[in-house]
Amino acid sequence: MARPRKPLLSRDRIVEAAGALVDAEGLEAVSTRRLAAALGVSGPSLYNHFRTKDEILDAVADAVSARVDLSMFEPGAGRDWRTALHDWARSYRDALSDHPNIVPVLARGPGRRPAGLRLADAVFGAMTAAGWPPAQATRIGALMRYFILGSAVGSFAGGFVDDEAAYDPSDYPHLGQAHLLAERRREVDDGAFDTGLAALLDGLALQYEALTARAPGAAAATPGPWRTTPGDEPGRRP
């Protein structure tokens, strides 16, 4: 009988194998040798699909970005800008929570990554369509990205040890229950994210109210996303 053929090497197979390595061992685990061994191929064959390790990691990062739901920004979704931002932020964090080791690559920005650029385009487009000045819409996208990526970098609750003796009340009078945080990691971290997200959106809503009260419909006349002129920030006093 003929031996079964090995699956053809493809970009998708390489990205899947690299993503598994990143998830299990971190960014430094990804190398041509490790990937070739995992895929059962010779090292040089990887270069038919990717020129460098950084290109592979970019592709892994973009695969994670592609899992983020953007449907809430579609015109027919029927959600206002605040609800859309809330739902998108939750979807983004859910995608990152499964792959926290890739966050440092995502934190560099979208670069030329298609899914990352579609994400940025969707957020910016939805904010400007809602009437935010382009300059402020850019800042909102950056602010939300900082918050979401930061929440995925590590666990606050997981940073405390499950040992009551580590928190001597004579040294740390307010940490008497800190040893319980680790076992409540998900509850604490999810609650912190929800609290922060609500606070951000509440603050933006106040700015939006001030913007629309001051000059309804004037947002469309403001400069492009990389320029700012005095008075184009919602909430700024004239």
Measured distance CA(174)–CA(167) in Å, rounded:
9
Measured distance CA(20)–CA(190) in Å, rounded:
25
Per-residue pLDDT 10s for the chain (238 aa) are 445 455 689 999 999 999 999 999 999 999 999 999 999 998 888 999 999 999 999 999 999 999 999 999 998 899 999 999 999 999 999 999 989 999 999 999 999 999 999 999 999 999 999 999 999 999 999 999 999 999 998 889 999 999 999 999 999 999 999 999 988 999 999 999 999 999 999 999 999 999 988 765 544 433 333 333 334 443 333 3
Three-state DSSP at 128 gives helix
**Predicted TM-score of the model (pTM):** 0.82
Which of 205, 38, 22 is CA-nearest to residue 127?
A: 205
